[in-house]
């Protein structure tokens, strides 16, 4: 069927139109016997709108000498919107013989899939340059348009780009068809990576005289309180057959859209040529970008020909200075240790196909914990994550996937850097993670070429590598601007190296790998649960203890904890029935584990005290129970049923422990500073589960078919207290202008489907994701359980 190409992101008058191309695709799971090249013409089969439709029988793929026709059976395809991850819809498989799959012996089987879309291009667009960009396809994608093979892109993490100008049909020439084959049978990492077109797709229309793809580079070489110098480099392409004379007008706009500087240059460019033009602007009394004050500016780049704007290209940037020295990391001239987390890109309910809103939700949760740094481990992030980090204020360690100096590998690195180098949030490039060639001469030669490439593309940011060995062998570290230490606390390696190499700049690229299962307080191998009293996994520190090292040794510059959230795959230390990791400070839904409060105590000034476990232990009355806690207070006091059992002085960044005799009732913990109570927590023995409550992160959604409400469900007793062991099955129903796109509960051993209308709670909590339609109205979500009082949430969907 014929569908609109998408939503407009710029007015037609600007000469550039960037359209979201996510809507109205069809998906076919499984391979199709389509040859590498398909003859273009009126009978191009799956890659042509004038396809022979086969219904009521098996789809037939027929090839003849005259025509290569792939018959199209519509019932074999289903309608989907992007982003889309088909792997999250699969069932888990338990196979002890498969150890290389993303979840060890409990994995979701990958495979091959096809995406197809029919679309129209207006007759008035003839003569324009029209291209399509896929932000991310996992993986090994092949694209045909109107029967023409456009190309292949292997990486699942970098964008792919195709110029469609010559092979499109315009106006009455007919409909266009794009076909995308996705072969995800090979992995790139050892974690869950998904399958499909899991990031956004964009259709861009420009005149033949235009700013090139990734065609601007904005830096601030001089920053002072009274002014900031802005360096602007613009690459312009002329795809006309004649020389063109033009003006390049570069305007700097502040956050409210006021023009603060304008620079103009007049030039000409020959046919089929490109040129880079440099301009220098100025911002007076600049507002500096930081995680606390994420001030942004926009560079509006206009190409004007004969008084007409033929292209308008916008670049968001920030004014800030960064420096990693032997004394630490400095932001805007001040020592600024980075409180970071490393993160994979999946989430409960949706796999890797995250709507923008969920990415924003994850960044929000990290900032609430006190984090100011985000490491995209171990691959380039989705572009919207960087946009969010720019807006919300989060420093990003932007990570390349592999250590390689092959032409293909260097192209991947170039694409990453050209795409991301204008983001003020990006403070450093990470070229590799824990490669086996670290510390070896061969690895050094490869790394040297990568570093050279990185410095050519961006001389303003340092480069590092996240190393777990070989820091002092083979000249490997000498090639880097900053030496990254993964678990350098082993043998206090980074302290010894600082003494031996005092001029070495250092960063803790990965620290704690603490494993725990939310709400669990005993190891359970059978269920695959890890106690929150655990000792970690042997190569990491306890929550918060890693920050103590950064405070003691500021030359370490900061840290990235492994990880901010649980993620699918890499279950450690247990295998089946585990299908997700336990490393997260928060679980797969973003529900905090107990260790979360160790970091919040270390990273924020907000007085807090947090103890665990809960106070529900039937059958253990009168017995000793070990309690552990985190606090940034000077001392804590514990009261059981109103009676104090004593106070304890606390050590900074260390947990405290207490053995208490369990008696049902109330456990109260008080935190003191300078002898004054500044924090308090109460844990009570709850009654039986009685009712459900729901809390949405928002009650207002946009009618764009993309916006999402994250709704967290709690199981409570009659007095409104969360029952910490409840696991009731909860069913969801929805009415109105929206749909359920996923559910989750944070249980790393749950094999329930993510795409469903029901989910068991895990230790009192579960989650449902609701996405709006493209019409204004109301959405009513109801949550029910057989023995519990239900609840409902009403969302308003606005134009």
Residues marked active site are found at 434, 510
Beta pairing, strands 729-736 & 777-785: antiparallel
The candidate with the shortest Cα–Cα distance to 659, out of 613, 619, 616, is 613
CA distance 786 to 792: 15
The candidate with the shortest Cα–Cα distance to 420, out of 382, 450, 392, is 382
Buried b (16+ CB within 10 A) or exposed e, 728-751: bebebebebbbebbbbbbbbbbbe
For residues 317 and 309, the answer to whether their CB atoms sit within 8 Å is no
Reduced 3-state DSSP string for 262-282: EEEEEEEECCCEEEEEEEEEE
At a CB cut-off of 8 Å and minimum separation 6, what does 74 contact? 53, 55
Question: What are the backbone dihedrals phi and psi of residue 694, each rounded to the nearest 5 degrees, phi first?
Answer: -130, 140
Buried b (16+ CB within 10 A) or exposed e, 617-638: beeeeeeeeebbbbbbbbebbb
CA distance 351 to 194: 7
Task: Give the side-chain half-sphere CA count within 13 A for 322.
Answer: 25
Torsion of the alpha carbons at 339, 343, 346 and 348, rounded to the nearest 10: -50
Three-state DSSP state, 199: coil
Relative orientation angle of helices 383-392 and 356-368, to the nearest 10 degrees: 40
Provide Rg for the chain, Cα atoms: 28
20: which 2 tokens? 């979201």
* Helices (H) then strands (E): counts for the chain: 7, 51
Helix or strand run (H / E) with residue 457: helix 441-457
296 torsion bin: left (phi>0), alpha (psi -120 to 50), beta (else): beta
DSSP lists the bridge partners of residue 743 as 768
Question: What are the backbone dihedrals phi and psi of residue 477, each rounded to the nearest 5 degrees, phi first?
Answer: -65, -25
The candidate with the shortest Cα–Cα distance to 243, out of 204, 208, 214, 212, is 208
Beta pairing, strands 395-399 & 426-433: parallel
Cβ-based neighbour number of residue 325 at 10 Å: 12
For residues 155 and 187, the answer to whether their CB atoms sit within 8 Å is no
């Amino acid at each position: 069927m014929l569908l609109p190409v998408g939503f407009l992101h710029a007015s037609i008058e600007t000469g550039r139109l960037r359209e979201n191309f996510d809507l109205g695709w069809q998906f076919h799971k499984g391979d199709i016997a389509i040859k590498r090249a398909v003859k273009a013409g009126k009978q191009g089969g799956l890659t042509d709108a004038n396809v022979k439709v086969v219904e009521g029988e098996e789809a037939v793929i027929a090839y003849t000498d005259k025509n290569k026709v792939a018959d199209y059976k519509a019932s074999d395809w289903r309608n989907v919107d992007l982003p889309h991850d088909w792997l999250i819809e699969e069932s888990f498989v338990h196979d002890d013989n498969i150890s290389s799959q993303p979840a060890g012996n409990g994995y979701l089987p990958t495979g091959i899939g096809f995406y197809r879309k029919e679309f129209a291009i207006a007759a008035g667009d003839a003569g324009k340059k029209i291209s399509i960009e896929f932000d991310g396809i996992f993986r090994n994608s092949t694209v045909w348009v109107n029967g023409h093979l456009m190309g292949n892109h292997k990486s699942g993490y970098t964008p792919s780009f195709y110029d469609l100008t010559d092979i499109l049909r315009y106006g009455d020439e007919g409909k266009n068809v794009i076909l995308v084959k996705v072969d995800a049978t090979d992995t790139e990492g050892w974690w869950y990576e998904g399958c499909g077109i899991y990031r956004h797709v964009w259709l861009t229309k420009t005149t033949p005289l235009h700013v090139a793809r990734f065609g601007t580079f904005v830096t601030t070489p001089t920053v002072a309180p009274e002014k900031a110098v802005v360096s602007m480099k613009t690459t312009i392409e002329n795809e006309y057959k004649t020389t063109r004379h033009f003006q390049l007008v570069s305007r700097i706009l502040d956050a409210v859209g006021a023009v603060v500087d304008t620079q103009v240059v007049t030039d000409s460019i020959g046919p089929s040529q490109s040129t880079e033009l440099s301009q220098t602007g100025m911002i007076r009394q600049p507002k500096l970008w930081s995680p606390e004050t994420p001030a942004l500016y926009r560079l509006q780049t206009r190409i004007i020909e004969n008084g007409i704007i033929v292209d308008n290209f916008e670049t968001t940037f920030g004014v800030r200075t960064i420096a990693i020295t032997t004394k630490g990391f400095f932001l805007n001239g001040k020592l600024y240790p980075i409180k970071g987390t490393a993160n994979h890109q999946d989430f409960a309910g949706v796999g890797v196909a995250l709507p923008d809103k969920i990415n924003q939700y994850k960044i929000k949760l990290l900032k609430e914990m006190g984090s100011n740094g985000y490491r995209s481990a171990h691959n380039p992030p989705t572009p919207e994550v960087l946009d969010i980090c720019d807006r919300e204020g989060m420093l990003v360690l932007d990570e390349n996937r592999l250590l390689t100096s092959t032409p293909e590998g260097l192209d991947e690195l170039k694409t990453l850097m050209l795409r991301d180098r204008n983001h003020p949030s990006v403070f450093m490039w990470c070229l590799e993670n824990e490669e086996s060639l670290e510390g070896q001469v061969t690895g050094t030669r490869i790394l040297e070429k990568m570093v050279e490439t990185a410095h050519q593309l961006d001389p303003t940011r340092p480069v590092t590598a996240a190393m777990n060995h070989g820091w002092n062998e083979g000249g490997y570290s000498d090639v880097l601007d900053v030496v990254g230490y993964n678990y350098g606390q082993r043998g206090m390696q980074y302290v010894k190296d600082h003494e031996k190499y005092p001029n070495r700049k250092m960063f803790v690229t990965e620290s704690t790998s603490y494993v725990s299962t939310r709400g669990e307080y005993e190891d359970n191998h059978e269920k695959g649960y890890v106690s929150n009293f655990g000792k970690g996994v042997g190569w990491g520190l306890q929550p918060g203890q890693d920050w103590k090292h950064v405070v003691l040794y500021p030359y370490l510059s900061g840290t990235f904890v492994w990880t901010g959230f649980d993620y699918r795959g890499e279950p450690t230390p247990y295998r089946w029935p585990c299908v997700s990791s336990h490393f997260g400070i928060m679980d797969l839904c973003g529900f905090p584990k107990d260790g979360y409060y160790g970091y919040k105590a270390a990273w924020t000034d907000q007085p807090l005290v947090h103890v665990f476990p809960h106070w529900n232990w039937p059958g253990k009355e009168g017995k000793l129970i070990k309690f552990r806690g985190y606090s940034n207070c000077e001392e804590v006091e514990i009261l059981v049923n109103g009676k104090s059992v004593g106070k304890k002085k606390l050590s900074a960044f260390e947990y405290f422990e207490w053995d208490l005799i369990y008696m049902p009732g109330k456990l109260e913990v008080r935190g003191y500073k300078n002898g004054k109570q500044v924090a308090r927590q109460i844990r009570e023995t709850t009654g039986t589960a009685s009712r459900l409550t729901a809390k949405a992160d928002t009650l207002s959604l946009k009618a764009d078919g993309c916006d999402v409400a994250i709704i967290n469900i709690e199981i409570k007793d009659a007095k409104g207290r969360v029952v910490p062991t409840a696991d009731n099955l909860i069913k969801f129903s929805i009415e109105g202008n929206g749909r359920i796109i996923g559910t989750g509960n944070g249980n790393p051993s749950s094999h329930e489907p993510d795409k469903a209308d029901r989910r068991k709670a895990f230790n009192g909590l579960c989650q449902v994701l609701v996405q709006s339609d493209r019409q204004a109205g109301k959405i009513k979500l109801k949550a029910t359980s057989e023995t519990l009082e239900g609840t409902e949430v009403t969302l308003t969907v606005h134009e």
